[in-house]
Amino acid sequence: MATLKPLIEPKGYRLTDDGAKSNFDLPKGGERKEELEELRDRIEKQAQALSAEQRRALLVVLQGRDTAGKDGTIRKVFGDLNPAYCRVATFKRPTPLELRHDYLWRVHAVVPPAGVIGIFNRSHYEDVLVVRVHTLVPEKDWRLRYQHLNDFERRLSDCGVTILKFMLHISKEEQRERLEERLADPAKNWKFEVGDLKERAVWDDYTAAYEEMLERTSTIWAPWYVVPADKKSVRDYLVAEVVAETLEAMAPQFPAGDPEALAYRGKVE
């Protein structure tokens, strides 16, 4: 069993600064690179079978505040994977065309097809997070979305898409340090946006939005995992472990050879 457990019926779930720090007993404290490499090898092995089998898909949703480590998690957990096996979709502010469609239109279009591991860097959950915090649509409209999201994911799951949702949870102090780091390091300057400070100023509103999201949309078919993400190595380990175990439980199989084709064995001229 993976160290991190899914949220089941998380009524009244609270995101606290303490919850951003790991209190798990991880092998070598989750510090050793070899432990993560082992998990990555396990993921690669299953991903290859998933690709060959081409019957089912895995969707990994990554949500979190600015600097929570969405890009880092993708690099560390999936970065070594054969690119043929996975696909990353990044969700920015909707374009004018996307805004003319229903909000799930752009999401459905990038759900991984059978055989692929899809990774969402942000996701359809922005539509109950940033949209709620800044009232980009009226409350009566975004309130309907929890049910839409559950129904949407239920349909995907019924159609062979296994869904894992990770909320990368950082503390306010850790975010402050990471924002400062982006300003201090020329290689990271481009990642810093003034808008990030505006989002930070409404930290508590985001906390409330995340808490309600977790409470309303952690389902049996698409559970949320809250990842203590103040420490990057722990974050990577915990996510990789859930992904590896989920793929192993899916147990994708290499297709058997076609008997007619196999009859040529030893006879290929």
Token pair of 234, please?
Answer: 């722990």
Least distance in Å: CB of 134 to ligand AMP? 8
E strand or H helix that includes residue 163: strand 161-169
Tokens in use for 2? 């993976």
Question: Using CB under 5 A, which of the segments 28-36, 62-70, 86-94, 129-137 binds Mg ion?
Answer: 62-70
Closest residue to ligand AMP in the complex (CB): 126
CB of residue 145 vs ligand AMP: minimum separation in angstroms?
11
Binding part of the chain for Mg ion, among 61-69, 135-143, 217-225, 234-242 by CB under 5 A, reads 61-69
What, of ligand AMP, Mg ion, none, does residue 61 touch, CB below 5 to 8 Å by kind? none
Say how far apart CA 114 and CA 18 lie, in whole Å. Answer: 39
Please give the Cα distance from 145 to 196 (Å, whole number): 25
Q: Which is nearest to 69 in space by CA: 191, 243, 212, 202?
A: 191
* 245, containing H or E segment: helix 232-250
> Per-residue string for binding with Mg ion, 104-133, x by CB under 5 A?
------------------------------
**Burial tier of 59 (Cβ tally within 10 Å: 0-12, 13-18, 19+):** buried
Nearer to Mg ion, 11 or 92 (CB): 92
β partners of residue 119: 60, 88
Q: Tell me how far apart the alpha carbons of residues 238 and 226 are, in angstroms, rounded to a whole number.
A: 10
Question: What DSSP character marks residue 208?
Answer: H
Q: Which of residues 47 and 170 has its CB atom nearest to ligand AMP in the complex?
A: 170
CA–CA dist 85, 115 (Å, integer): 7
Alpha-helix runs per DSSP H in 101-202: 105-108, 130-133, 139-158, 172-184, 194-201
- Residues 150-189, one symbol each (x = binds Mg ion by CB under 5 A, - = not), give ----------------------------------------
Q: How many CA atoms lie within 13 A of 142 on its CB side?
A: 19
Of 91 and 224, CB closest to ligand AMP? 91
**Residues near ligand AMP (CB under 6 A):** 91-94, 122, 126-127, 130-131, 136
130 binds, among ligand AMP, Mg ion, none (CB under 5 to 8 A by kind): ligand AMP
Q: Which is nearer to ligand AMP, 50 or 107 (CB)?
A: 107
In angstroms, what is the minimal distance from the CB of 43 to Mg ion? 26
* Closest to ligand AMP by CB, 4 or 128: 128
Cβ proximity to Mg ion: between 66 and 236 the closer is 66
Q: Which residues bind Mg ion (CB under 5 A)?
A: 66
